[in-house]
Amino acid sequence: MNAKMIDNLPSNLTPNKLQIPPIFIDFLKKRGVEGDEALERFLFPRLADLPMPGKMQNLVEAAHLVVEYMTAGKQIVIWGDYDVDGTTGTALLVNFFRECGVEVSWHIPNRLLEGYGLNIDWFQRHRGSLLSDDFLLITVDCGISNGSEIARIKEMGGTVIVTDHHNLPEYNLPICLILNPSTPTCGFHREQLAGVGVAFYLVAGIRAELTNKKKFKAIAENINLKQYLAFVALGTIADVVDLTTTNRILVRAGMEALVCSNFAGLQEILSSCDIAGGVILSEDIGYVIGPKINAAGRLGQSDLVVTLLTESDRKKAKRLAGILTAFNNERKRICADNLEKTLSKISASRVDQDKCVIARGLLHQGVVGIVASKLVEVYGVPALVFAEKESPDKSLSYVGSARSIEGISILEMLKACSEWIERFGGHEMAAGLTVTAANFADFSSRFSAIAKEKWQWHRIRKKIRYDIECSVENIMSDAYLDFMKLLEPFGPGNLQPIFQDNQARIVDSRVVGKTSEHLQLTIRGKYANHKGIGFSLGNKINDVQKDSERTMVYTPTINRFRGNVSWQVRVIDV
């Protein structure tokens, strides 16, 4: 059996010596990458090709304002969102200011108690104690929808810089300095940066400004900004933003920085995920590291993440990472329980009729987004999952998460139902919302009607089930696997290639998993066999055992076990 180990990128793979397998030339051409220059830019992205910070609207003014507060020794407060994007962006800023010799205050709201965005009650409680009479507030991955709260904060003596990437509200835009690529007039409008990406560019602008200040000049010139791209890689992949040219450069460099990071918190998170050392791929972030970091926020403990990511002592960081692992295990248990409860109440015929799933119940508010994503996988339609919540006045409301399918914007659907929604926000594929009990029936009826209308007009293209025809044996060769690493990172805008082998021969098969839901395979190779795993394909075991020569749709993936890292075949269909 072949357990082909994963190593770092071979040194011989350079722009001058690279031999591109012919099937990948055709594949990249289909994705718009053609010609020597374009191929080199895509396969070997360079930090030198990043757009300059000055292109971001208001960044120069924001950096100047931050440096004013730094040189005057005034208080700086960071307020970040509770997801991976927000916590990594907050940690990036806190670590940067600390490297500059400036200690800042920071806060991550409790997802379950404070909710999303700025919470004015927190500022009122800490006025005159934690908060000084003159402070600078910098938001991370939030704030663009908090115009009213920001007006109140300014009355308390705060000056505000909003760094965000979410869509601008139609009304009540904050009156302050705004760094947001969603702004149509911003020079980064097409770059689709994650919140942590915006925070990184602010840091780049601040460092440039500091080189002109005698007090900070020597420190600023010695700061290596690439080390902070490790945070950018985590937040960008976990937030599932499009891998535009700029994001791809940031993430690729960030994954390199993550492997050899000097931040104790990052080192211990990787170690706790059994990913310490070696190579890190985007699926490690998307399926292992990101969900673990998010677990703390889902259970109302997001501040643990920033505490861990800003901890310089390795022993303390290891203890904090252990707590995070415990939260993640608890999150998995709650999620499995909530998914089972939800599935038991759903009628497949109703879903087929409504072209959506709307579920509610006594669920954990922190995991409804994961449950909604699972329902989208099961039914292939937009899904909304709500947790019941009782307000202090005993009124009942439903706090939910919405997930959609490619080509149908969940945000546009919610806007069409806004008459019955108390509040909502998000983007095309995911959103959060709150609906009162009194409005829930009308909201559900209207949303279902819109879902049916969208489904009717949505031209679901016949999916090309694969990108390239190629045997498992060829793809699992050293040359092809080494080249696959040059296509990284994968995500929206640069999806992982899908292959089809028309004559795959299966020499062993069995079902695995708690309910025998997965299919474990051994695939015949020329010199050695290859391990394969088909998630949620356990129901195909009889077909596979009846006829061992199959057409297989697959992609290479990694398997980590007790410190060993090897390639295996992820079977998509067989």
Boundaries of domain holding 426: 345-457
Summarize the confidence of residues 326-350 as an average pLDDT: 93
Give the HSE-up count for residue 353: Cα atoms under 13 Å, Cβ half-sphere.
7
Summarize the confidence of residues 502-512 as an average pLDDT: 92
Q: Which of 541, 540, 507, 511 is nearest to 523 (CA)?
A: 507
- Tens digit of pLDDT for each residue in 66-89? 999 999 999 999 999 999 999 999
Q: Are residues 240 and 362 in the same domain?
A: no
Q: Are residues 367 and 406 in the same domain?
A: yes
Summarize the confidence of residues 259-267 as an average pLDDT: 94
Q: What letters, b where the CB count within 10 A reaches 16 and e where it falls short, cover 278-293?
A: ebbbbbbbbebbbbbb
Which CATH number do you get for residue 197?
A: 3.90.1640.30
Summarize the confidence of residues 37-46 as an average pLDDT: 93
Q: Are 567 and 476 in contact (CB under 8 A)?
A: yes
Res. 14 pLDDT band, cuts 50 70 90: low
- Tens digit of pLDDT for each residue in 148-199? 999 999 999 999 999 999 989 888 999 999 999 999 999 999 999 999 999 9
Measured distance CA(13)–CA(9) in Å, rounded: 7
pLDDT at 4: 39
Domain end (from 442, 457, 472): 457
Tell me if 29 is assigned to some domain.
no
pLDDT at 11: 41
Q: Are residues 220 and 116 in the same domain?
A: yes
Q: Are 62 and 179 in contact (CB under 8 A)?
A: yes
Q: Are residues 490 and 411 in the same domain?
A: no
For residue 433, pLDDT over 60 is answered with: yes
Res. 7 pLDDT band, cuts 50 70 90: very low
pLDDT at 463: 54
Res. 203 pLDDT band, cuts 50 70 90: very high
Res. 16 pLDDT band, cuts 50 70 90: low
pLDDT at 459: 55
Q: pTM, whole model, 2 decimals?
A: 0.89
For residue 125, pLDDT over 70 is answered with: yes
For residue 9, pLDDT over 50 is answered with: no
Count the domains in the chain. 3
Tell me if 21 is assigned to some domain.
no
Which CATH number do you get for residue 526?
A: 2.40.50.460
- Residue 107, beta-bridge partner list: 79
For residue 458, pLDDT over 70 is answered with: no
Q: Are residues 94 and 167 in the same domain?
A: yes
Measured distance CA(17)–CA(40) in Å, rounded: 11
- Tens digit of pLDDT for each residue in 221-248? 999 999 999 999 999 999 988 999 999 9
Measured distance CA(123)–CA(152) in Å, rounded: 9
> In this predicted structure, which of 36-45, 421-430, 500-509 has the lowest mean pLDDT?
421-430
Q: Are residues 447 and 468 in the same domain?
A: no
Tell me if 30 is assigned to some domain.
no
Q: Are residues 427 and 468 in the same domain?
A: no
pLDDT exceeding 70 applies to what percent of the chain?
95
Q: Are residues 236 and 267 in the same domain?
A: yes
Q: Are 544 and 552 in contact (CB under 8 A)?
A: no
Tell me if 545 is assigned to some domain.
yes
